[in-house]
Structure 1
């Protein structure tokens, strides 16, 4: 086992133990194995290393049961040759490690409430190979104080269930309705849930090179899925992933809950090329893709549509990735977004909500507090990122048209949601930010107001590269490390390394309808 794999495995196990010893107990997890939730209209599953209960009784091992337990987890086996799959040594696991895992198999549609802890386990939803076309093949899985760890595979997998968007895939659109999705993950009010998951590299079908299995996320869905909160909307879910965080093969819609996703690649991912849509309508979501070598905060191989909620999305600080990244367009129509990374992925001109983009000349640090003030010198918002960055995007319904300034602060007093402050009563300003007038100006409705001299439309688009199943449009080669100067490689933003020292500097900017780009942002000298 190499050092990277040892570190990731230790991280997953430590996360499980920490949740078992403190996280679940602090959330009043039910550890009385004789007790069930009689108020729940459905099947109650209680996880425990000593044994899994279903409606208060020991879980069946009969595969014909609607819920049964087994030890046949899908994982990438060690010691196989190239005919087995595309995994590396780092993806391999021993049979002994896999055998530690208890798989909780859900085989019938319905409502399921899960609580308790498994140090080595997986929840697998498999409603049969014909489920994809059956509108009744729907599982509603409520997490009610769950601590679940898998060190060899995804911790939650929806393998076969109804695909609500199969017909619309012929005519893809950013406007999708996943209300009838076959997999719904629900966060119970007042619950604290921790999912620690691994991944499965591509395994071939026998005697072919066609894919049989490939799970990239700690939570993996082969069909469109929804994440919902209950009435209070305060149910918490933390996902710790040694690869991607939450992944769907089609669409992902988030309507509520408090989500924190820590990943070694993309935190949220929807990977059907030119079809998938990630839609966010509510909730508080923090995406930290900084635990590996690369990764976007939110990545869709189709569209991203944000209409509500509070989203803090941070890319890996050491790679050319974005806080929000899509292949077909990013639309911000509501909510609050703070996205940071080392590359800018263009926000669609048709977005209904205003935004600003800051392109810094030097790497900014995650703890750096930035304060926005309006023309009346009132602080309307302040924020800090999850990881270091050179490009920052901020959007909120508080961004009205008008004049603004931005500054760094040592501290802020206000209402904190995630890493975004509002209702600010005091800000200890330490440095004013200034912007170069070279190359750009305020832009109308999300598109460039003017193109920098010498650039054409193609220069403003995302660089193309050879795509794989989960990542499109990434430049290939040795450009993994971001430059010290944020303008050099930031997508859609020109290089100001060679600008004249006497170029005009401004400390205020005007936000017109749509959005504003601020180039070569630096602290005032």
Structure 2
């Protein structure tokens, strides 16, 4: 007969619900209730219902093999399950499976380094917790997964994680994989992958990783987060150390809020259509910081892509509309000055001596690539060895704060785009080498400065701009050697003269190199300039030297 357990204390299922109780006893198990049977160390669940598991199972498996219309819930209330041949928990057949981590419970799963399949044609399961059907994980207990074969937690369909579970995964391949989608609204996650990704959704026709909350520490042998279609973050905290990309999405990559700290990556954030509306983002990358690129899986039909990108575009302020600064460092941001000295050539690069003369510029080409980076708000700090912001397409900025510590090598730039870079709001400071330096497009509605020094400046050398009356508008200390500075702000105005200094000291408060509320002690005066055009070049052209 079914046994009524104290599920109300677990905080998940009403005490009125009946659950089958499965007690794990080393090499075997006992079942009190219906819907489950034991053969050796294999527990097979064959009916819809709720099953509460507790105890230890050595070298066994919990197998869900229920009808295709059966809803199955597994309450893990202090279990330790290991297998030397397969997945400790395998949802082979059902309509959907829910794994509930009982409040206060500690649960662990570990699998084998080599799986044994019934035939050579089979390759599933391939995760310590594997499901062929939709999988939901909820509750407030903990789950530790040691995946010695491949993935830690994996489903061929949709994966939902809700509540406040504490989940630790140590996997050879992907830590958590939902083929069609991953939807997480809460929890604490420590995800470690030796060769794979931290979070992965791999359906090339339509997949989504949706982060609505939770705290994540990800160490990945490949990408921290990888979606073969779309990624959206609305809340939560991501801390990522990755051998590959920090966050990679083939098509739409949207950040509406939350905190992202990419401590190491090849490319920090990469996608086809990147939209940042808010949030705090820190990126360290050995290649590009934020990269817009053509999707690899271009065989995917464009109809879905056009539809989703249109929805994202609807959230972008209208052309010419100035966005706010979004998240700002403590103390607020200082206003910014204007100047002009040397012209920009037709390509948007600084013209050599004798070829100056205030050309409107940026470095945009006539690229017709549909891919883009839109920044409408947020606080973004990039430290990149490659390009800081790299768009194989266009860039649009309407608000937010963007601080870029770009490359020291001459063949990359703090900003790199193929089409146009329209800026109408927000604060932009981008430093790096001068050889490939680009400023926003001359068609922008907000003024910009492109400053190129004659020689490279050392890391932490202050860049200071003040009005001719002595009003401080920018003090910034780049984190690396630099020779070029791109600067844009809503406070820049035509006809105002500014003094540009390098060196000196400030007793203000620095946040990510940006100073506020301090007094500047002058270093050397580099130039005094008056802005006369949308993009004003100051100094001379040249690579880092």
Normalised to the residue count of structure 1, the TM-score between the two structures is: 0.56
CA distance in 2, matches of 1:183, 1:236: 15
CA distance in 2, matches of 1:322, 1:380: 24
The residue that corresponds to 2:251 in the other structure is 223
SS of the residue corresponding to residue 430 of structure 2 reads strand
Is 1:269–1:298's contact at 8 Å kept on the other side of the alignment?
Answer: yes
Residues 138 and 221 of structure 1: is their aligned pair in 2 closer, same or farther, counting only changes over 3 Å?
Answer: closer
The residue that corresponds to 2:466 in the other structure is 373
Residues 388 and 67 of structure 1: is their aligned pair in 2 closer, same or farther, counting only changes over 3 Å?
Answer: farther
User: 5+ residue gaps in structure 2?
Assistant: 1-9, 13-79, 82-88, 90-97, 108-127, 138-144, 153-169, 295-367
Is 1:305–1:332's contact at 8 Å kept on the other side of the alignment?
Answer: yes
The residue that corresponds to 1:407 in the other structure is 501
Residues 55 and 333 of structure 1: is their aligned pair in 2 closer, same or farther, counting only changes over 3 Å?
Answer: farther
SS of the residue corresponding to residue 470 of structure 2 reads coil
Residues 55 and 271 of structure 1: is their aligned pair in 2 closer, same or farther, counting only changes over 3 Å?
Answer: farther
Is 1:314–1:339's contact at 8 Å kept on the other side of the alignment?
Answer: yes
The residue that corresponds to 2:269 in the other structure is 246
Deviation, structure 1 residue 510: 0.3
The residue that corresponds to 2:376 in the other structure is 281
Tell me, yes or no, if structure 1 residue 311 matches structure 2 residue 402. yes
Tell me, yes or no, if structure 1 residue 154 matches structure 2 residue 223. yes
Q: How does 1:385-396 map to 2 (within 5 A)?
A: 385-396=478-489
The residue that corresponds to 1:195 in the other structure is 240
Residues 114 and 513 of structure 1: is their aligned pair in 2 closer, same or farther, counting only changes over 3 Å?
Answer: farther
CA distance in 2, matches of 1:112, 1:361: 51
Q: 2:279 aligns with which of 240, 251, 257?
A: 257
Is 2:235–2:256's contact at 8 Å kept on the other side of the alignment?
Answer: yes
Deviation, structure 1 residue 353: 0.8
Is 1:266–1:298's contact at 8 Å kept on the other side of the alignment?
Answer: yes
CA distance in 2, matches of 1:331, 1:281: 12
Is 2:432–2:485's contact at 8 Å kept on the other side of the alignment?
Answer: yes
CA distance in 2, matches of 1:144, 1:236: 10
Residues 114 and 323 of structure 1: is their aligned pair in 2 closer, same or farther, counting only changes over 3 Å?
Answer: farther
CA distance in 2, matches of 1:408, 1:184: 40
Tell me, yes or no, if structure 1 residue 126 matches structure 2 residue 201. yes
Note the alpha carbon deviations across 1:359-383, whole angstroms, 9 max, x for none: 1110112201111111211112211
The residue that corresponds to 1:237 in the other structure is 260
Considering only aligned residues, what root-mean-square deviation do their CA atoms show, in Å? 3.2
Is 2:375–2:397's contact at 8 Å kept on the other side of the alignment?
Answer: yes
The residue that corresponds to 1:61 in the other structure is 130
Is 1:338–1:385's contact at 8 Å kept on the other side of the alignment?
Answer: no
Residues 54 and 521 of structure 1: is their aligned pair in 2 closer, same or farther, counting only changes over 3 Å?
Answer: farther
CA distance in 1, matches of 2:419, 2:227: 26
Tell me the number of residue pairs that the alignment of Structure 1 and Structure 2 aligns: 323
Q: 2:288 aligns with which of 256, 262, 266?
A: 266
Structure (1/2) with the larger helix percentage: 1
Normalised to the residue count of structure 2, the TM-score between the two structures is: 0.54
The higher-RCO structure (CA 8 Å, 6+ apart) is 1
Is 2:504–2:524's contact at 8 Å kept on the other side of the alignment?
Answer: no
User: 5+ residue gaps in structure 1?
Assistant: 1-33, 37-49, 75-96, 132-136, 161-181, 200-216, 230-234, 435-507
**Structure of greater Rg:** 2
The residue that corresponds to 1:516 in the other structure is 536
CA distance in 1, matches of 2:451, 2:539: 7
Deviation, structure 1 residue 270: 0.9
Note the alpha carbon deviations across 1:277-318, whole angstroms, 9 max, x for none: 01111111111113xxxx100101000111111111222213
